[in-house]
Amino acid sequence: MIVLTACGATTSGSPSAIATQSAALPTFAANTTSPHKTTSVPPSSTPATHVHSSAPAPPTTATVNLPAGSGPLIVIDPGHSVTVHATDPATGLDVSDYENEPEMRDVYSVAELVRAKLIAAGYRVIMTKPTLTTPTSLGQRAAIANAARAALALSIHDQAGSNGGIGFDAGNNTVYYQSVGDYRETPSGTKVYFTDSAVAATSRRYGQIFQSYRAATQHTSVALMGNTGYDLGSRGLPAGDIWIVQLLSHVPWIYNEAGGNSAGQVGLDVADEQTYANGLVAAVEACVPVQR
Ligand SMILES: [Zn+2]
């Protein structure tokens, strides 16, 4: 059951969002050689790059420092950011994010646990946020995974809160993968679709693995979904049915939700953070094994 509360909600981009976008983002329309064309705009619609009257979209790149070593490269995306307003210049999508507590702090802790375990197991790991409070738009997160050509990216979210929060074992345990045809809308109503069938096939396979390993580790049922199952526009978010980070990604990206309140408290305790992390690590190891 999807719960229509705060997690995943966002704020509208400000009119000056493009000018304040600090990371260069992929320019899908201009890149005709990429085998991973991820988004498109129907020919009958206004081209996304013409939606705004600002300067043309910047060239494709995000600066990432690749970790040393040869293990599979995994991008870990701890959900949420201190408030950031941004528009993806390539598609015109609103890629703003906002702080959601205690979720943002809890899932960052989970991400750090996952990171440490994966590095110990021989993986190379990049986090989409260098620190808990670094402002990071949804577009920047996707650009990092794309620039790194990650083998797999995973988002970590939960549903914490005194009002609308869900027990860690009680629900909202969901794994989302990318599907061709999933879309989101720009503020002007242009639909931007996920179109990469190869990435979608891998994402679906990885999603099934995440579902089974998380369920086994958390001892609860975990839902598997190829889209959000409802129109995010019904929550006041940009309309559509895929999480923005997945839509803008050129790599398989698994988006994880979970319950967010441990017994007797708002937010996750250390034991539940560890359990959430263990399921994610087991899933990564099954999706992309380290070659030995
Ligand atoms: Zn969230």
pLDDT per residue as tens digits for the range 112-171: 999 999 999 999 999 999 999 999 999 999 999 999 999 999 999 999 999 889 999 999
C-alpha of residue 178 to centroid of ligand 1, in Å: 17
Instruction: Count Cβ atoms below 10 Å from residue 49 Cβ, excluding itself.
Output: 17
Give the DSSP letter of residue 149: T
C-alpha of residue 146 to centroid of ligand 1, in Å: 21
* pLDDT value at 47 more than 90: no
C-alpha of residue 38 to centroid of ligand 1, in Å: 23
282 half-sphere exposure, CB direction, 13 A CA radius? 17
Give the helix ranges, DSSP H, for the chain.
Answer: 17-20, 103-120, 138-148, 197-218, 244-247, 270-287
C-alpha of residue 63 to centroid of ligand 1, in Å: 25
C-alpha of residue 91 to centroid of ligand 1, in Å: 23
Instruction: Count Cβ atoms below 10 Å from residue 122 Cβ, excluding itself.
Output: 15
C-alpha of residue 237 to centroid of ligand 1, in Å: 13
* pLDDT value at 108 more than 70: yes
C-alpha of residue 125 to centroid of ligand 1, in Å: 21
C-alpha of residue 64 to centroid of ligand 1, in Å: 24
C-alpha of residue 155 to centroid of ligand 1, in Å: 9
- Check residues 20 and 38 and name the one with the higher pLDDT: 38
Q: Which residue is listed with tokens 């703003």? A: 96
Give the helix ranges, DSSP H, for 41-137.
Answer: 103-120
Return the pLDDT at 7.
66
C-alpha of residue 43 to centroid of ligand 1, in Å: 33
C-alpha of residue 193 to centroid of ligand 1, in Å: 22
Q: Please, are residues 114 and 212 in contact by the beta-carbon 8 Å criterion?
A: no
Report how far residue 87's alpha carbon sits from residue 78's, in angstroms, rounded to the nearest whole number.
20
Report how far residue 225's alpha carbon sits from residue 151's, in angstroms, rounded to the nearest whole number.
21
CA 292 to the chain's CA centroid: 29
pTM for the full model? 0.82
Name the amino acid, one letter, at 273: E
C-alpha of residue 176 to centroid of ligand 1, in Å: 13
C-alpha of residue 186 to centroid of ligand 1, in Å: 21
Tens digits of residue pLDDT in 228-278: 999 999 998 999 999 999 999 999 999 999 999 999 999 999 999 999 999
C-alpha of residue 97 to centroid of ligand 1, in Å: 10
In terms of C-beta density within 10 A (0-12 exposed, 13-18 middle, 19 or more buried), how is residue 245 classed? buried
Report how far residue 55's alpha carbon sits from residue 81's, in angstroms, rounded to the nearest whole number.
26
- Of the pLDDT bands very low, low, confident and very high (cuts 50, 70, 90), residue 199 is very high
Q: Please, are residues 192 and 186 in contact by the beta-carbon 8 Å criterion?
A: yes
